[in-house]
Amino acid sequence: MKKTLKQYWFNQAENFGDALAPKITGYITGLDVQWAAPEDCELFGLGSVMGYALVTGQKRKAFRRKAYIWGAGLGSPVIVNHKIDELNLQVLGLRGSDTSASLKLQQIPIGDPGLLVREMYPEMLQNNRKFEGGLVVHMSHTIHADGEKHLNNLGWIVIYAKSNDYEKIMSQISKCKMILSSSLHGLVIADSFCIPNDWINPDDIHQTPRFKFYDYATALNRKFEEPYSFKLNEIYLAIERVKKNLQSTGCLLTA
């Protein structure tokens, strides 16, 4: 029987990237991963969950419950008045250097564990890229039906991140020649599958919506240009920019 690891990931709304978190942790650790509340968990892993670790630190300290941080990031820059170890936290790795700088931590490994999906699902690397492109829509965003129909007519697929069926979403992404995404998870999966991509309309998803995108990019030495909106004419501009920047987006990991 496998040992159980109690992990906290965001599960208050359907989101394929969050639902994928325990799958990745289980793949790396070989353990049976179960959800636990922030004050009770043993691991904060993947996504913008670092803030939950900070605000529940005093409770864990009182209960003498230590928790590890792996691949997590902040949703916004913060001012931390306590040292991380004073909050019964041990950092194994963070999503990016913007998070580590906010926490005043140095020499911490950085990188989004979502990039490991190419190892977990190697068969998806072989999928036929039958769609001209895919537009991944953040769980808090919507696309007008006419706009979606227009993209479909161009050979594009609209992929909604508001789903816990992560294998279906990843399979859809893997069949696209390029990806535009207002969901960071969409960009991470595209990067892992060596699919050229760019962000689009990242606003209105967090208090500091662009922070996590820039944080993620630091681990890959990647530069995001100003994002375009969901307006159809700007989607065309975003498509052209991806084509132009093919050498700086796409395959970020060795085969």
Domain residue spans in the chain? Answer: 4-111, 117-244
Query: Mean pLDDT, to the nearest integer, of 11-15?
Result: 94
- The span from the CA of 213 to the CA of 199, in Å, is 8
Query: Mean pLDDT, to the nearest integer, of 136-158?
Result: 89
CATH number corresponding to 117-244: 3.40.50
Query: Mean pLDDT, to the nearest integer, of 49-53?
Result: 94
What is the residue-averaged pLDDT of the chain? 91
**Beta strand extents in the chain (DSSP E only):** 4-8, 32-35, 43-47, 67-72, 89-94, 133-137, 156-160, 179-181, 197-199
pLDDT at 254: 44
Interacting residues of 189 by C-beta distance below 8 A, sequence separation 6+:
17, 114, 117, 169, 170, 173, 174
pLDDT at 202: 79
